[in-house]
């Protein structure tokens, strides 16, 4: 839910998080560089019709979430129900200072808190003193939860400038401008996720082995660290020089070029997987969205954060060398021939010892040599996967 100023005095704001429970709920809103926590307690609604309305909305949302892990529409209805009484508070937030926004101010903004109560049968918002809460650090990882990254530079959050329109600097960006005035990809952290630590471990290994010069995979520039030095906010990578909005293999624009370049991409990806495995590095999340085609029509691989797509890798082989080859075989031996919506719903359910689901063996990929060993200019990501691609001019 991201309304702009619509003439009713409601400024642009962005809902950046929400939690809905039986006894209480919380919505996080960013507006004009300020975070507003909106909280509601079921006990405050007792004796009013709004208690029944709250119970019905939360119950419906919880029931739907059991079937749909991302019940977007129902969440939006609940968010709107809680945010609407706060429009006057949002309108009263002062405009931010006319200075260029940096990552530090985005992650550590001024904070306000509002509590919803019932006055005259109507839900109203009242400003209350703020208090520390877990959501304050939901978009960052404590430094003591990170693996060592001595080979990777630390980049202070105040040195990383946001490149978005300042009016919409509410969410974690996917681009930052570093101190050398170069725009690069930003991969945001999230508390509780293992992806950033795994990416740091893999990037450290690639640096140690000198593999960035032999692979077409985005080079890490640094780890974005809060000014206090206690939190990791994300990772900064170079951009892949690409053309188009979605340069990943799954895009229709790229897929239309399969007949002319598909075999080359197949060999390039196979050679990169083989090189990684020779050095005991596993790619992990192998699927078409993590194969990016650059402006010279060469294939890059992105996202070493772990995980797996069940359409391409059987879950018992996730994050293994065998799983990497399984994903490669599924992409270039099956999916690439029929990348329709139905295929996206398929899941590999082959048990160990059964016939493998792919049409070719890993060792059959070695024919044709290598097309990509001209070295990497250091870049990262894809709008089809990580979002870290260089937009066309």
- Write down the pLDDT at residue 383: 37
Please give the structure tokens belonging to residue 26.
Answer: 């919380």
Residue 153: pLDDT band with limits 50, 70, 90: very high
Residues 39-58 as b/e (b if ≥16 CB within 10 A, e otherwise) read bbebebbeeeebeeebeebb
Residue 171: pLDDT band with limits 50, 70, 90: low
Whole-Å CA distances, 166 to 32, 59, 97: 9, 38, 11
**Is pLDDT above 60 for 180?**
yes
Mean pLDDT check: name the lowest of 35-39, 115-119, 281-285, 384-388: 384-388
- Write down the pLDDT at residue 367: 33
- Write down the pLDDT at residue 252: 86
Residue 236: pLDDT band with limits 50, 70, 90: very high
Whole-Å CA distances, 100 to 34, 97, 178: 15, 9, 13
Closest CA to 162 of 150, 174, 181, 176: 176
- Secondary structure of 53-88 as H, E, C letters: HHHHHHHHHHHHHHHCCCCHHHHHHHHHHHHHHHHH
- Write down the pLDDT at residue 379: 36
CB 381 within 8 Å of CB 176: no
Query: Would you list the DSSP string of 249-273?
Result: TTSHHHHTTHHHHHHHHHHHHHHHH
- Which is more confident, 367 or 341? 341
**Is pLDDT above 60 for 50?**
yes
- Write down the pLDDT at residue 169: 52
Task: Provide, for the chain, the percentages of residues in helix, strand and coil under a 3-state DSSP scheme, each rounded to the nearest 5.
Answer: 35, 20, 45
3-state secondary structure of 158: helix
- Write down the pLDDT at residue 170: 60
User: Residue 188, Cβ neighbours under 10 Å: how many?
Assistant: 18
CB 248 within 8 Å of CB 289: yes
Rounded Cα distance, 242 and 302, in Å? 14
- Write down the pLDDT at residue 126: 96
Rounded Cα distance, 43 and 139, in Å? 30
- Write down the pLDDT at residue 222: 98
- pLDDT tens-digit readout, 294-324: 999 999 999 999 988 999 999 999 999 999 9
- pLDDT tens-digit readout, 242-255: 988 889 998 888 88
- Write down the pLDDT at residue 8: 66
- Which is more confident, 24 or 137? 24
**Is pLDDT above 90 for 73?**
no
- Write down how long the chain is: 393
Residue 154: pLDDT band with limits 50, 70, 90: very high
**Is pLDDT above 50 for 382?**
no
User: Residue 356, Cβ neighbours under 10 Å: how many?
Assistant: 14
Q: Is 182 left (phi over 0), alpha (psi -120 to 50) or beta?
A: beta
- Write down the pLDDT at residue 96: 79
- Write down the pLDDT at residue 358: 40
- pLDDT tens-digit readout, 185-229: 999 998 888 999 999 999 999 999 999 999 999 999 999 999 999
- pLDDT tens-digit readout, 89-118: 999 999 877 667 899 988 998 999 999 999
- Write down the pLDDT at residue 350: 38
User: Residue 252, Cβ neighbours under 10 Å: how many?
Assistant: 8
Q: Where do the domains of the chain lie, and which CATH numbers do they carry?
A: 14-129 (no CATH), 141-239 (3.30.200), 241-386 (1.10.510)
Q: Where are the alpha helices (DSSP H) in 212-339?
A: 252-255, 258-278, 321-333
Please give the structure tokens belonging to residue 251.
Answer: 């895009």
- pLDDT tens-digit readout, 118-132: 999 999 999 999 988
Q: What percent of the chain has pLDDT over 70?
A: 80
Average pLDDT along the chain: 83
User: How many angstroms from the chain centroid is the CA of residue 40?
Assistant: 29
Integer Rg of the chain from CA: 24
CB 302 within 8 Å of CB 185: no
Q: pTM higher than 0.85, yes or no? A: no
**Is pLDDT above 90 for 365?**
no
Q: Where are the alpha helices (DSSP H) in 45-194?
A: 49-67, 72-83, 87-91, 103-107
């Amino acid at each position: 839910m991201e309304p702009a100023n619509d003439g009713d005095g409601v400024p642009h704001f962005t809902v950046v998080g929400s939690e809905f429970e039986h006894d209480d709920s919380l919505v996080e809103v960013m507006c004009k560089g300020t975070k507003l926590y909106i909280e509601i307690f079921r006990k405050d609604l007792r004796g009013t019709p709004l208690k029944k309305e709250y119970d019905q909305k939360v119950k419906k949302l919880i029931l739907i979430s059991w079937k749909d892990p991302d019940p977007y529409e129902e969440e939006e209805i609940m968010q709107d129900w809680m945010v609407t009484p706060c429009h006057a508070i949002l309108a009263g937030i002062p405009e931010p200072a006319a200075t260029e926004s940096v990552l530090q101010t985005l992650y550590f903004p001024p904070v306000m808190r509002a509590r919803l109560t019932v006055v005259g049968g109507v839900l109203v918002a009242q400003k209350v003193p703020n208090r520390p809460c877990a959501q304050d650090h939901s978009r960052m990882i404590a430094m003591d939860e990170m693996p060592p990254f001595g080979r990777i530079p630390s980049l202070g959050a105040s040195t990383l400038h946001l490149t978005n329109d300042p009016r919409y600097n509410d969410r974690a960006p996917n681009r930052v401008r570093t101190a050398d005035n170069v725009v690069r990809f930003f991969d945001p952290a999230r508390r509780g996720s293992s992806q950033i630590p795994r990416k740091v471990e893999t990037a450290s290994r690639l640096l140690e082995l000198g593999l960035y010069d032999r692979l077409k995979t985005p080079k890490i520039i640094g780890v974005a660290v809060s000014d206090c030095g206690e939190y990791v906010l994300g990772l900064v990578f170079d951009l892949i020089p690409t053309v188009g909005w979605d340069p990943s293999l799954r895009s229709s624009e790229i897929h239309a070029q399969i007949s002319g370049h598909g075999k080359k991409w197949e060999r390039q990806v196979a050679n990169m997987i083989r090189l990684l495995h020779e050095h005991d590095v596993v790619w992990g999340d192998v699927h078409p969205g993590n194969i990016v085609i650059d402006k010279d029509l060469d294939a890059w691989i992105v996202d070493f954060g772990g995980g797996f797509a069940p359409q391409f890798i059987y879950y018992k082989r996730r994050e293994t060398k065998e799983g990497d080859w399984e994903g490669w075989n599924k992409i270039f031996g099956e999916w690439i021939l029929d990348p329709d919506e139905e295929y996206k719903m398929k899941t590999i359910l082959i048990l160990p010892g059964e016939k493998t689901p792919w049409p070719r063996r890993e060792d059959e990929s070695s024919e044709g040599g290598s097309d990509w060993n001209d070295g990497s200019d250091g870049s990262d990501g894809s709008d089809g996967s990580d979002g870290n691609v260089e937009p066309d001019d």
